Structure formats: structure tokens, C-alpha cells
Structure 1
Amino acid sequence: MLHQLWRKRAVALGLGAGAATATIVAGLPHVAYADALTGTIAITSPTSGKLAAATAKQVILLTVTGQPLSEAFVTSVDLGSDPACAGLVSYIVTSATTIAVKTPTGGCAATDTTANPNGEPIVINFAGSNTLTKTPSATAKGVFFVAAPSIAATNAVITENSSLLTTPVSRFVTNGGQTVRVSAGASFAFDPRSSASLGVTFGGKAGTEVKVYDGTTNAQIPASTSTAPAAGNYLTFKTATGMSASDSSLTVTQNGVSKTFTSTDTGASIVASPTVTSLSVTSGKTKAQTSTVITGTGFDKTLADYTSGDWLVNFCGKAATVTAVDTTGTKLTVTTPDVADDPTGLGTGKFAGPCPVTVVNNTVPASPVPSPITPGSYFTFLSE
């Protein structure tokens, strides 16, 4: 606002820009016109000096020494050589020595590291067309705009067995331990080389065992490769325990920049697995249809969902009859099924023995989510 007032005052006085600058000396960083100011610009954040290319609202924090900063007299900032990122006014002078600058809609073009091995210049423009420039060097590198990770438009994130299914599955459980496959965008390639520092975060937790594969041959690309992989590849990783069911976002980091993809981008969702901690009755005769109350967490609270098959309670893999549900989602009253002499139950020719009891979220039949087996989730069937 002050700068706008200064410009109006210069016009009202009938002064040229240089004369106006010389007239209003107090507080200006320099009294000359169109001069190269002395001082230095350092990139405070990100410390790598790398921002995602073609990405809006990337913020870079600069620290200036030798020239005081002011909202009144800083007019714009140039980030790199892309004309779209020259004359940026999306900045905030946070102190006399620091300024935060944000990339515009559309972002800035990727840096040609062959032509600019030390990065691109940064220019802070002051009133009177004075400029302070950071010229990149081997010891004081400039800003780098790095191609941000991109993923395929459809079926970008799927479970490891989705290729065997008619419909690809993108549902994962908070328990972790699943293998996830992520397909790169058509013009992007995941890079397994250590210099690229490829990493993945899913559901708020870092993935492990990150591997990259050729999209055509499906052969793994080793981390020791000396050349950048071709576009159209994919990566896999193992999910971690304790992922958030309320945060299905996927973040991929490569070459110092990160890109976060929402569930809308990936089609992926993370669900909490139900758990079984105990049974009120732990044994009964095989054909007696014993009633027992299952206690645990994360159970569906609607009885009709168990009747429809959206949720199941299985004894040795055979569905029990759910007769009552608790509104807290922690208790289910069930009647045991007949599991004797059944390949799905106790097994052919078997009429007694222990059965694991699982509560299953079956809302996506191709990707059911069963409760894990625990010491408290067994029911023992007795001979008649």
C-alpha cells in the first residue's frame, strides 16, 4: 500500500521515476536509480533450495544481509529465469532481513541443470528499479525447480494382488504390512538411485521396502543404476502399522521435492480393521448352535449389515448368525455355525477342535478386511 502511495506521489509531482526515488530518500535501501545493490541473498527454506516445478504456492524463505527490506520499497521478486516467475508480487516481508515468496498459479518451469548446474538466480526488485541479485555459484547455489512426482490418472494406487482381480482394489488397512503399487504419470519416472532419495508416506506413516520397476518388462530397476529410469514405470512399498483411517493421502518425495496426492487423486482409502479381544462363551458342542458375545472394537453397529453380508462373523471361515449388535460397536451376539466335517470349517472328517473367530468388514467383497487372530479370538468346538 505504501509503495502504491509513493508511485502516485511521484506522478502527482511530475517527477520521473529516478527523480522521485532521489527525492524520497528516507528509508530507501539505496538512493540511486536502476542500480545493482550490494548485499547477499541466502535461501533459508527449503534448505536444499529446491521447489517443485509447475506447482503453485510453493514458498521459499530468503534472508538478506547488507540491504534492509521493507514492504514499502520491495516491489517484486524474480525466481529463476522463467518469465512466468518474474515480477512476483506474492511475497511477504517478514522482517528487515527476511522475505517469503510464493510461486504463482502454474508454478515455475523446471530448471535446466545442464545449463544451470548451480541453480537459477534470484532477484529482489526495489523501488526506483534498484535490484539485489543472488547469482548462483558452486559455493552459493541458486534456486532449483525440480519436476514434482506425478502418478497415473487411473488405478494409480492399488494393492499387490489387484492384477489378479477383475476390478483393481485400492483399499488398505491401518494395521500395515500390505504391499502397495503406485504407477508413475506418463511423463514421469520414479528414480531408485540413492541420489534421488525416493520416499513414500501413506496414511501419515513412511512406507518401507521401496522398489522401482520397469513398466514394460516389470523388472526391478536397481538402486545402483547409473542412468535415470524411463518414464512409465511404477514403485512398490510396504505399508506401516498405525496408519490413519482419516488420512488416505499419499506423499511421494524425489530429488528434494514432495507431492501429496489425496484420495481423490489416488482412489485409495485406508480403513481401520475390526478387532476381537474376547468371547463370553469360548466352547460348545459342534451342532449345538451356541450363543456367545464377541467383544472387540470397530464393529459395524447395524444388524441389517450382517444380514446383507456387508459384514460377517466367521468361525473357521464359516459365517455365524449375528442376533444382536451393540450401539458402541464393541459387542456382537452371535450363534455359532455348523463347522463339523466341512472343508471350510474344521475340515473334512473333523468334528471337534478350535476355530479362529473373525469379524470381517466385507463392504468391498474383493478386498475384505478381517480382524486379526488373537489369543482371545478362539472358540473350541466339542464332540457331540
Structure 2
Amino acid sequence: MPIHRFWRARAVALSVSASAVTAVVVAGVPHVAYGAPLSGTIVITTPSTGKIAADTAKQVLVLTVTGQTLSEALVTGVNLGTDLGCQNIPTYVVTSPTTIAVKTPTGGCPATSVQAGDNIDIVFAGGNTLSKTGGLFLIAPPAIADTAEKPIINENSALLGPADQITRFVANGAQTVRVKAASGYAFDPRAAAGLSVTFGGKAVTELKVYDGTSGAQILPTTSTAPAAGNYLTFKTAAGLSTADAILTITQNGVSKTFSATDTGSSVVAAPTVASLSVTSGKIGASTSTIVTGTGFDKTLGDWTGQTPTWKVNFCGLSGTVTAVNATGTTVTVTTPDVSDDPDGLGTGVFAGACPVTVVDGTNNVTSPISAGSYFNFLKE
């Protein structure tokens, strides 16, 4: 029948194994020497880099031992570094006579301050210790600004007031996202730092780091570490799930995952425009065209009311919607006059091509521009 092991606090074991004690002779009588160093080696097998997050609870290290035999009765604790809060850690499991897994305690262990890394001690009954010199690196995990500071926004809204900055992202992807670091933490673009990001479980592209004071991009070849208070940008991948707005940042060998609650962000399904039934018309005329795509609102009143929540825009000016189908894949719309208008083709411009976009005002998202989403306005 297999033995079931559990993470739990342990009292100091009273029994002492011969492999974990050192005998000395006092007045001809053998006695146990307490606190004696033991021979053997400790290797960090998981993570193999020896890097775990500092100041973080439940970070797991798996250690493999040679030269000593491990058992639940024999081991009484583990020391990680020199901080008093990480001495004789009781949250460990002896998984075999040669392996032990240990979890960092509540509050974690402080960041490593020595170049060679922190030491590890496995404490045996009687206070004897098997030690590893260096090799354990407790590294400050990535940290982002508080939700009140809008830590993650659509980069296009960065210059808007905080109330108007966009924290919704579309499942279609290809949006540029800005992430603000917490005070005292710095994103590092250098290759040695191994900076990487996933959003919604998908790897991002075009990852860049910027100085928070000057706004200048910090290049990977920069020899000095970036200043605290900087931020990063990236482009989202296509096919994001509307149920997954999780952000994961990895730097210097440790990762931190931020939930939607941490970031204040969400992923929504955005409408798409695939084609127009009529792709050109005279600038002064109202031309009817059928917009074909996906994710359109199916209620005509949402497009035609006094304060419509859905729109079809030509160069930023709304057309007049006359019909929608029951499957949310087509909208019939007549073109607006976009001539000589700064929000249309531009002041003094009377012909040209306009991108056609569908705007979901409820979720504050706009369909991406595609090759099939242009209407050509011709001179009279």
C-alpha cells in the first residue's frame, strides 16, 4: 500500500539515526554531538537554475542528497539562507531516501544579496546539518503597479485621462498593450534577464521596455539596468479567450502571474469586417452597401436609436444603418458625407479611400481594419 505524504509542520524528532549523528567520547562514554556538520552533497534538482521568487510563499525546491539517508523521522527542518524566518522550515516532504521537497514559508524568504547565492542546510535530529554552499538565488519577482494606477492599458489610450484609458482588449489580438511596473521594480530588456510575457496564455510579440521618466526605449544592448518606474509594451496574439485575461511576466528566471483582478483588464470579442458588397460611390451621394463580418449586434434599435451603442464608421464618421440580419453577420448601411471634414477624409479633401469599421460602444471596441474593409469615395 503506497505511503501518502503531506506538507505539514513537524515537531523536532526525538529519535536519532546513526547516519545523522557524530559520536564523541566524554569520560569514556559515547555521547551524541549536536549541531555537527555531516558529510555528503545537496543538489537543487527543481528548479535546476536554483532560482525562485523572493518574498513569496510556497515556492518549492526539490533537493537531491548523496552521502546521507533521508527519512521523515530523521529530518527536522530546512534552512534557506540566513534570514531567521527561513530557518528550520517545517514545510517539507521527504519523497525518497535521497530527495526532499521544501516550500518557502508564509511571507517567503528575502532576496539573495550574495553573488554566489544563499546556502542550504538540511537539519537532522540532534541539530546536525548537511549543507550546500551557495547556489540558491531568491530573486524579486516581477511586480506591476496597483490597479488604481491602471497597470495595464491599451497603448493607444496612454495619453488620455485615467478614467478614459482602455483596459479592455479584443480576442482578435494585434493590439499594443502597455504595462506599468510597480515602484521599485524595473523591467530589463537585456538578453541575460530573459524577459518574456504571455497574455491570455499566449506568447506576445514586439516586446519593448521604456524608461518611465524620459519615455525613451531601453534597448537590449544597454549596459546599465533600467531605472525603477519604467514600463513595457507588447502586441497581443490572435485567438485570445474572453475568459482569460491573465498576464504572466518572467524575468531573471522567475515568473509572476497576475489575474484579471490584479490588472483590471478583460478580453472581449470584437466585431470583424470581412467585405463590402459595394466598395465605391460618389462623394456627395448616399451609397448603400452591405457590410459582412462577425460579431455584429442583432438588434436594429442598437444601431439606430438616439444614442446608438453600435455604429458603422467611414473614416471616423457614422453611416446610417438600415438593416441587420439575425445571425450578426451583415449590416446594411448608407455612406455619410466624408468630404472636406477633419473627421472624414480631411479638410479640403473630396475623394479617397476610407476604412470601414464597426464600433461596439458597449465594450468600447472597434473592429480591426482589414483588406476588405475599405470604401472608395469618388469625385462627383
Output the TM-score relative to the length of structure 1.
Answer: 0.76
Pick closer, same or farther for the CA change 1:345–1:181 going to 2, 3 Å: closer
Tell me the residue number matched to 2:193. Answer: 196
Q: Which amino acid aligns with 1:151?
A: I
How many angstroms does 1:108 deviate by? 0.7
Q: Deviations over 1:316-344 (max 9, x none)?
A: 64333254453x5x434534345586756
Given that residues 78 and 122 in structure 1 are in contact (C-alpha distance below 8 angstroms), is that contact kept between their aligned partners in structure 2?
A: yes
Given that residues 184 and 233 in structure 1 are in contact (C-alpha distance below 8 angstroms), is that contact kept between their aligned partners in structure 2?
A: yes
Pick closer, same or farther for the CA change 1:111–1:302 going to 2, 3 Å: farther
Pick closer, same or farther for the CA change 1:200–1:63 going to 2, 3 Å: same
Tell me the residue number matched to 2:51. Answer: 50
Tell me the residue number matched to 1:131. Answer: 129
d(CA) in 2 for partners of 1:123 and 1:149? 27
Matches within 5 A, 1:1-384: 17=14, 20-21=15-16, 29-30=19-20, 32=22, 33=32, 34=34, 35-112=36-113, 116-136=114-134, 142-153=135-146, 154-166=149-161, 167-277=164-274, 282=278, 290=288, 292=290, 294-306=291-303, 307=305, 308-314=307-313, 317-321=317-321, 323-326=323-326, 330-339=328-337, 343=341, 357-365=356-364, 368-375=365-372, 377=373
d(CA) in 1 for partners of 2:217 and 2:344? 40
How many angstroms does 1:278 deviate by? 5.0
Pick closer, same or farther for the CA change 1:57–1:7 going to 2, 3 Å: closer
d(CA) in 2 for partners of 1:356 and 1:219? 31
Pick closer, same or farther for the CA change 1:349–1:53 going to 2, 3 Å: closer
Tell me the residue number matched to 1:13. Answer: none
How many angstroms does 1:164 deviate by? 2.7
Q: Which amino acid aligns with 2:94?
A: V
d(CA) in 2 for partners of 1:227 and 1:382? 55
After TM superposition, the structure 1 stretch with the greater mean CA deviation from structure 2, 86-95 or 53-62, is 86-95
d(CA) in 1 for partners of 2:241 and 2:106? 31
Pick closer, same or farther for the CA change 1:303–1:121 going to 2, 3 Å: farther
Q: Which amino acid aligns with 1:273?
A: A
- Identity among equivalent positions (%) equals 54
SS of the equivalent of 2:257 reads strand
d(CA) in 1 for partners of 2:224 and 2:374? 54
Pick closer, same or farther for the CA change 1:155–1:383 going to 2, 3 Å: closer
d(CA) in 2 for partners of 1:299 and 1:205? 26
Given that residues 278 and 289 in structure 2 are in contact (C-alpha distance below 8 angstroms), is that contact kept between their aligned partners in structure 1?
A: no
SS of the equivalent of 1:54 reads coil
Output the TM-score relative to the length of structure 2.
Answer: 0.77
Given that residues 283 and 382 in structure 1 are in contact (C-alpha distance below 8 angstroms), is that contact kept between their aligned partners in structure 2?
A: no
How many angstroms does 1:51 deviate by? 0.9
How many angstroms does 1:47 deviate by? 1.7
SS of the equivalent of 2:96 reads coil
SS of the equivalent of 1:200 reads strand
Query: Structure 1 runs of 4+ off > 4 angstroms?
Result: 281-292, 301-304, 337-351, 353-357, 377-384
How many angstroms does 1:378 deviate by? 6.0
Aligned residue pair count: 352
